[in-house]
Amino acid sequence: MTNIDIEISEVGPRDGLQSIKTIMSTEDKKAWIAAEAAAGVPEIEVGSFVPPSVIPQLADTAEVVAYARTIPGLAVAALVPNLRGAENAIAAGAHKISIPLSVSETHSLKNVKRSHVQMLEEIDLIVQRIRELPEGERPKFEVGLSTAFGCTIEGPVSEDLVVQLAVKAVALGVDEVGLSDTTGYGNPAQLKRLTKRIWENCGREKLNGVHLHNTRGQGLANALAAVDIGLTTIDSSLGGIGGCPFAPGASGNIVTEDLVFMLEAMGLKTGIDIEKLLAVRELVQKALPEEEMYGFTPEAGLPKGFVAATGS
């Protein structure tokens, strides 16, 4: 990590696969994760510990986490909806656990069937459970502030409430919070404003990353705003697959290939070999022949004479 300017967290095996009809085989998931790690992707969210009846596409998450743990240098992340999910993630060996705290309470009730009060109780229980573990075995625990930029159900979301929930989560003892544009409503000015307010109220070290969607074409603009203000981790999905199945119309993660190209062209090191990354896309497309994949860089190819920051 010392030689990386911006950390890319690949969320395709979780956020991408949960939103498509195809159920990718466990072996294909393992091949995808191994290939992206070999391309230099430092962190991959490999699945979600939700009941298989809710999201059957991710029923094999425990096995996938255990496999990903065997890849040297890879930070293995997983999403959990509650304490039970966190227990399963801990047992499987995830390095990082994320839980969604939807600022839109309506979305929270649809997504995880819990109110704000109930979610904060779950977060508190998870913090206490992690503290019971030996110090060297504690996973990093992040709260993702979902629908922080707006909600397809409620509409505009109060920025004051975003900050209030961030403050409450940090007070409970989470390692950090993340801003999540679940519905693709966000714009660069809004992202900078929210980031500054959370830094002012929670401490700069408590907010490092953003999860952005490209639903309205603002994904890379928002990613650039995040870099400009000083955020250091950006989530993205290979081929731009995925979205939230409980937020109508929330398709369109940022395309990992386009994000890496932009950052590397700017002279920012991601640690990722972009040519190897483009080859991973072919592997995933072969495993998901019925699913559409997005991205301008894969279609156009790298510019003639392009020199990446990583490795230069």
Per-residue HEC secondary structure of 185-253 comes to CCCHHHHHHHHHHHHHHHCHHHEEEEECECCCCCHHHHHHHHHHHCCCEEEEEHHHCCECCCCCCCECE
3-state secondary structure of 301: coil
199 lies in some domain: yes
In this predicted structure, what is the pLDDT of residue 216?
A: 87
For the chain, the C-alpha Rg in angstroms (whole number) is 18
In this predicted structure, what is the pLDDT of residue 250?
A: 46
2 lies in some domain: no
What are the respective helix, strand and coil percentages of the chain, to the nearest 5?
A: 45, 15, 40
Dist CA 226 CA 228 (whole Å): 5
38 lies in some domain: yes
Q: Which phi and psi (to 5°) does residue 175 adopt? A: -70, -40
Dist CA 225 CA 229 (whole Å): 6
Q: How many domains are there within the chain?
A: 1
Total residue length of the chain: 312
Q: What range does the domain containing 239 cover?
A: 7-300
307 lies in some domain: no
Residues belonging to the active site: 244
In this predicted structure, what is the pLDDT of residue 65?
A: 98
310 lies in some domain: no
The CATH number given to whatever domain includes residue 206 is 3.20.20.70
48 lies in some domain: yes
In this predicted structure, what is the pLDDT of residue 312?
A: 64
26 lies in some domain: yes
In this predicted structure, what is the pLDDT of residue 113?
A: 85
12 lies in some domain: yes
Could you list the pLDDT tens digit for every one of the 312 residues in the chain?
458 999 999 999 999 999 888 999 999 999 999 999 999 999 999 999 999 999 999 999 999 999 999 999 999 999 999 999 999 999 999 999 999 999 998 888 887 888 999 999 999 999 999 999 999 999 999 999 999 999 988 999 999 999 999 999 999 999 999 999 988 999 999 999 999 999 999 999 999 999 999 988 899 999 999 999 999 999 999 999 875 444 444 457 999 999 999 999 999 999 999 999 999 999 999 999 998 888 999 999 999 999 999 986
